[in-house]
């Protein structure tokens, strides 16, 4: 097969001074940071749906993407050819992982049987290409939101037939992920929510979602898939309200339905901001329950209120992300999945390289900066000091559960007033971070 990107050779690390736009200035895969290589820390992953299926259409206009390898059909042969193009791209980029929905990689057939057969035909090629390049599957997932059968949702549909069909689709997607040695499996509830409560039995829908996820856990055990399940929170879009709206809502749902042992979270920046949170807030909430599994790396636009899925190029953002990831001890099965698409105006194939290089360099910088901040120690030292009243006397007694309201009343009467507050020093700390950027 002729090369799809003949003008691009393997992207190499060229150092911060490089003016070569098709080189890394900061992502240096073998460089050691805090005892691990950058490659091991960041575990970059390319998303199949945006990078190889995105046409760059928007709500007002058709796709603009130039993808010379496409023949305009949605055939299995085209899907197989596209898979080889994808691996040429990822191999040249040096991305160690990719992620897909079942229907991104292979076309939906006339019925489930045909869809499964199509998927198997493409999985065969994916397997060959994984073997040839050493690139692995970070996670697989099932697309339960595009087809009209899921208009009312999948696991939360008012129609039991749609639930059943979705279960069959997830069963197959899970088996295929397992076959490809996937490190994890994602559930993103695109239409698991509602558009109006007037026609919705919220409690019944949530119960169904809980049951669905338990069936998935059972099937995972049955086939011997060892990777974690991840839930990917998002508050809305395409529904008005999605049940797994943010990290806290997901964790509460998992607790309520006794699923917490089987799931971690896959946190996406633009979903966090849609929910009115920062990415770092969502990461910290997940990490606090030991449920931070993986991230979908992208960013939104402050001027636009939707999921714009832009490549993450904001170094302040990647620094915050990496501070939390390093604090929780780094990724195990998870990674940095670029759930991001080039802008509609960036329509040439080479833009796919520029975009990923930009994201990878921004994360490499975030990693290096976060490691430097941690090595410096002033930030962590400040936080430790800020809570030092808890390390001895009354604070230590409260933390150890040795006192109740009665003893605390006696203590308050004795001190008379709180005179020991210290400054939060936000501006000082913001300037401290800027020292490293």
Q: How far apart are CA 106 and CA 117, in angstroms?
A: 9
234 is a site residue for ligand XLS (CB under 6 A): yes
We find the least distance from the C-beta atom of residue 178 to ligand XLS, in angstroms, to be: 18
Cβ-contact 120, 67 below 8 angstroms: no
Q: How far apart are CA 166 and CA 160, in angstroms?
A: 10
For Ni ion, the closer of residues 284 and 307 by Cβ is: 307
188 is a site residue for ligand XLS (CB under 6 A): yes
Which residues does residue 265 pair with via DSSP β-bridges, in sequence order? Answer: 231, 292
We find the least distance from the C-beta atom of residue 7 to Ni ion, in angstroms, to be: 30
Q: Which of 41, 102, 104, 307 is catalytic?
A: 104
For Ni ion, the closer of residues 69 and 145 by Cβ is: 145
Q: How far apart are CA 143 and CA 169, in angstroms?
A: 8
268 is a site residue for ligand XLS (CB under 6 A): yes
For ligand XLS, the closer of residues 186 and 326 by Cβ is: 186
We find the least distance from the C-beta atom of residue 270 to ligand XLS, in angstroms, to be: 8
Among 88, 102, 282, 296, binds ligand XLS (CB under 6 A): 296
Closest listed residue to residue 124, CA positions, set 48, 85, 179: 179
Q: How far apart are CA 122 and CA 118, in angstroms?
A: 7
Size of the site for ligand XLS (CB under 6 A): 10
195: DSSP letter: S
Q: Which of 26, 50, 101, 281 is catalytic?
A: 101
For Ni ion, the closer of residues 274 and 326 by Cβ is: 274
Residue 205's binding partner out of ligand XLS, Ni ion, none, with CB under 5 to 8 Å set by partner kind: none
We find the least distance from the C-beta atom of residue 188 to Ni ion, in angstroms, to be: 6
Alpha-carbon distances, residue 77 vs 46, 71, 157, 312 (angstroms): 22, 10, 33, 33
Q: Where along the sequence are the contacts to Ni ion (CB under 5 A)? A: 268, 296, 307, 339
Q: Sort 177 into a burial class: Cβ within 10 Å, 0-12 / 13-18 / 19+.
A: buried
Closest listed residue to residue 336, CA positions, set 91, 23, 41: 41
For ligand XLS, the closer of residues 208 and 234 by Cβ is: 234
Residue showing the smallest CB distance to ligand XLS in the complex: 188
For ligand XLS, the closer of residues 25 and 101 by Cβ is: 101
Known catalytic residue: 101?
Answer: yes
104 is a site residue for ligand XLS (CB under 6 A): no
Alpha-carbon distances, residue 140 vs 14, 88, 168, 340, 360 (angstroms): 33, 20, 15, 16, 21
Beta strands (DSSP E) in 215-361 are 229-231, 241-242, 263-268, 292-296, 336-338
For ligand XLS, the closer of residues 140 and 366 by Cβ is: 140
Residue 141's binding partner out of Ni ion, ligand XLS, none, with CB under 5 to 8 Å set by partner kind: ligand XLS
Site string for ligand XLS, 133-152 (x = CB under 6 A): --------x-----------
What does the angle CA 85 – CA 89 – CA 93 come to, to the nearest 5 degrees? 170
Half-sphere exposure of residue 42, counting CA atoms within 13 Å on the CB side?
33
339 is a site residue for ligand XLS (CB under 6 A): yes
Residue 284's binding partner out of Ni ion, ligand XLS, none, with CB under 5 to 8 Å set by partner kind: none
For ligand XLS, the closer of residues 129 and 307 by Cβ is: 307
We find the least distance from the C-beta atom of residue 224 to Ni ion, in angstroms, to be: 27
307 is a site residue for ligand XLS (CB under 6 A): yes
Among 102, 205, 232, 246, binds ligand XLS (CB under 6 A): 232
Show the tokens assigned to 377: 């120690």
Q: How far apart are CA 166 and CA 147, in angstroms?
A: 11
Per-residue three-class SS string for 239-261: CCEECCCCHHHHHHHHHHCCCCC
Residue 102's binding partner out of ligand XLS, Ni ion, none, with CB under 5 to 8 Å set by partner kind: none
Cβ-based neighbours of 72, under 8 Å, separated by 6 or more: none
Alpha-carbon distances, residue 248 vs 151, 205, 261 (angstroms): 26, 19, 16
We find the least distance from the C-beta atom of residue 339 to ligand XLS, in angstroms, to be: 5
Q: How far apart are CA 381 and CA 239, in angstroms?
A: 43
We find the least distance from the C-beta atom of residue 220 to ligand XLS, in angstroms, to be: 18
We find the least distance from the C-beta atom of residue 315 to ligand XLS, in angstroms, to be: 23
Residues at the contact surface with ligand XLS, assessed by CB under 6 A:
101, 141, 186, 188, 232, 234, 268, 296, 307, 339
Active-site residue numbers?
101, 104
């Amino acid at each position: 097969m002729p090369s799809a990107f003949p003008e691009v050779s393997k992207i190499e690390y060229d150092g911060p001074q490089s003016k070569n736009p098709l080189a890394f200035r900061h992502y240096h895969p073998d460089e050691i940071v805090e005892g691990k290589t950058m490659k091991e820390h960041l575990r970059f992953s390319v998303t199949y749906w945006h990078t190889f299926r995105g046409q760059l259409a928007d709500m007002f206009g058709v796709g603009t993407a130039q993808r010379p390898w496409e023949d305009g059909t949605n055939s299995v042969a085209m899907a197989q050819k596209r898979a080889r193009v994808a691996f040429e791209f990822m191999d040249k980029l040096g991305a160690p992982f990719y992620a897909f929905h079942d229907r991104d990689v292979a076309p939906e057939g006339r019925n489930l049987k045909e869809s499964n057969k199509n998927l198997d035909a493409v999985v065969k090629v994916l397997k060959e290409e994984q073997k040839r390049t050493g690139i692995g599957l970070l996670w697989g997932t099932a697309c339960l939101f595009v087809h009209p059968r899921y208009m009312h949702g999948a696991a939360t549909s008012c129609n039991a037939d749609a639930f059943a069909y979705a279960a069959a689709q997830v069963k197959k997607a899970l088996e295929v992920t397992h076959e490809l040695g996937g490190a994890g499996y994602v559930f993103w509830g695109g239409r698991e929510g509602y558009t109006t409560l007037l026609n919705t039995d919220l409690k019944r829908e949530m119960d169904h979602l809980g049951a669905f996820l338990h069936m998935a856990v059972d099937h995972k055990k049955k086939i011997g898939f060892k990777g974690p399940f991840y839930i990917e929170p998002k508050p809305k879009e395409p529904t008005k309200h999605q049940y797994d709206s943010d990290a806290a809502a997901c964790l509460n749902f998992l607790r309520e339905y006794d699923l917490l042992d089987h799931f971690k979270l896959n946190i996406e920046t633009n979903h966090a901001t849609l929910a009115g949170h920062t990415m770092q807030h969502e990461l910290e909430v997940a990490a606090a329950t030991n449920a931070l599994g993986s991230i979908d790396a992208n960013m939104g636009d402050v001027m636009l209120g939707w999921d714009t899925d832009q490549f993450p190029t904001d170094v302040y953002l990647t620094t915050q992300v990496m501070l939390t990831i390093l604090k929780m001890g780094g990724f195990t099965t998870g990674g940095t999945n670029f759930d991001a698409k080039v802008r509609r105006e960036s329509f040439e194939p080479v833009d796919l390289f520029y975009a990923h290089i930009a994201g990878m360099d921004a994360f490499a910088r975030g990693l290096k900066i976060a490691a430097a901040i941690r090595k410096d120690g002033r930030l962590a030292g400040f936080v430790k000091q800020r809570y030092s009243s808890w390390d001895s006397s009354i604070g230590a007694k409260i933390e150890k559960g040795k006192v109740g309201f009665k003893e605390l009343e006696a203590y308050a009467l004795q001190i008379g007033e709180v005179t020991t507050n210290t400054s939060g020093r936000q501006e000082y700390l913001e300037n401290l971070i800027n020292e490293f950027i």
